[in-house]
Amino acid sequence: MDEKINNIQEEIIEEFSKLNDWFDKYEYLIDLGKSLEPLDEKLKSEENSLSGCQSKVWLKAEIRGERILYLVASDSLITKGMISLLLRVLNNQYPEDIVNADLYFIDKIGLNTNLSPSRVNGLMSIVKHIKSYAKVAPNINK
């Protein structure tokens, strides 16, 4: 397991542990969503659209050197906040590390238990797509 990925997850867990309740954590997710870099409108295509999410999500992966860069957007601020956390952990990592990453921070900060079931399903769908791109990484830019 990549130590860098785990270190980032520990940072996120520490940040969330400083927030008093789930209202504060939702506010933090929304703030993260507002700070997510916007996706180029031409990438918001049907080809890049993900199914399995309550809100609209677009995901594009690119190989940069030996690492994967993910470009992701959503029409929901909370979803964008969750995406921001995933990108912080997985963006610009080696494909093998992404595929093998145990994203334990999702449980540790309480996303699985404090979000609606449809949001949790959407989050898991995004994780699945991110990992599936990493599995086929050599073929992404072709």
With contact defined as beta carbons under 8 Å apart, do 93 and 70 qualify?
A: no
- Backbone CA torsion sign across 93, 32, 18, 121: negative
Pick the catalytic residue from 29, 50, 53, 109: 53
Residue 134, amino acid: A
101-117 burial code (b ≥16 CB/10 A, e <16): bebebbeebebeeebee
**Alpha-carbon distance values, 140 to 11, 50, 71, 72, 115 (Å):** 30, 16, 13, 15, 32
Establish whether 53 is a catalytic residue. Answer: yes
Q: Kindly report the CA angle at 93 between 91 and 5, in degrees rounded to 5?
A: 85
Mind telling me the catalytic residues? 53
